[in-house]
Amino acid sequence: MQTPRQRTIQRVHDRYIRHIFREVQREILDAVLSHRLTSILGARQVVGKTAVTSYAAICLALGVEWKGQRIPAHDVHVVSRSERTSQDFVHRIGRILDAFQVGVGRHRAKRDSLRDQELGSMSRIALANGRRIFAHSGNPDSIQGFPGSVIVDEIGANRNDPEEILAQALSVTATSPDWRCLLIGNSSTRGDWWHKWWESRDGAFAERRAGWAMVKHDVHDVFGEILPAHLVEIRESMSDRDWRRWFLCEFVDAFNRAVSDEDLEIAAMGTARTELGAPIV
């Protein structure tokens, strides 16, 4: 049975997701709260994946009821490219928590804060329920031994070995079925780890990915086929390659690749490539 405090938080939570988030963000939130393992690929700056995953971190740290199941409150750990980018992620979580607090304050005494006002720093948010949200460096060893859920932000851009990061993240969440492992990123270049994780159709990657909720949203999922004027300007000013990568969530060839995947596949089949309109000899 929920306490009065838990019921208040739940009411504010329900209103927040109905009125604040877009449909694609609600889908992301549902994936995170409904599955232990979630991987998110989203268009840059338009899907709002950082905002909704920040909110998911708050839900996990406060405890929330989702689809009839109670997720107990627990610690959350954020890993990004560097400690500074992790701190920025946690700072965004703090801003959303403050907005959430306004809603809770309408129903309960102002002194009933969600935060522990005496604890906290740039690398940590301490909650009044005793749970904490931590910012860690990109080094996978930085989360070793910590219990709780793990959010790995921009794993494809991390200079550390993504396999080591994933292994540590999964190890941290292994103690409880309520603890989540979440991978977030933009699309990257073909052939790298993040590309294989998302698009390998057979072999080890496909088998390992089978148990994950895979959520992908590009710019058209947010705005439809007719884009706002400012995004039309961006599309017209940006190269086709970069538009496809950052806004259509496509994995593209790296700049320094002399031969594309398509040409490699054609070569492997032993078939010469004929340009459109060229004579057939």
Query: What is the pLDDT confidence band of residue 78, given thresholds at 50, 70 and 90?
Result: very high
Which position has the token pair 């604040």?
20
pLDDT over 90, % of the chain: 56
pLDDT for residue 261:
52
**Residue 82 · residue 123 · CB < 8 Å:** no
Which of 39, 29, 23, 31 has its CA nearest to residue 206?
39
pLDDT for residue 223:
95
Give the Cα separation of 130 and 118 in Å (integer). 12
The alpha-helical segments, DSSP class H, found in the chain are 4-19, 23-34, 49-62, 83-105, 162-172, 193-199, 203-209, 219-223, 229-237, 240-246, 261-269
pLDDT for residue 267:
55
Query: What is the pLDDT confidence band of residue 240, given thresholds at 50, 70 and 90?
Result: very high
Q: Mean of the per-residue pLDDT values for the chain?
A: 84
* Cα atoms found within 13 Å of the Cα of residue 173, Cβ hemisphere only: 23
User: Using one digit for the tens of pLDDT, what is the confidence trace for 203-228?
Assistant: 889 999 999 999 999 999 999 999 99
Read off the pLDDT of each residue in 159-181 and give the average, rounded to a whole number: 95
Give the Cα separation of 117 and 125 in Å (integer). 10
**Residue 190 · residue 261 · CB < 8 Å:** yes
Higher local confidence (pLDDT), 135 or 97: 135
Which of 60, 43, 52 has its CA nearest to residue 20?
52
Instruction: Indicate the Cα dihedral angle 181, 173, 169, 97, nearest 10°.
Output: 60
Q: Is the pLDDT of residue 272 over 60?
A: no
Read off the pLDDT of each residue in 113-122 and give the average, rounded to a whole number: 53
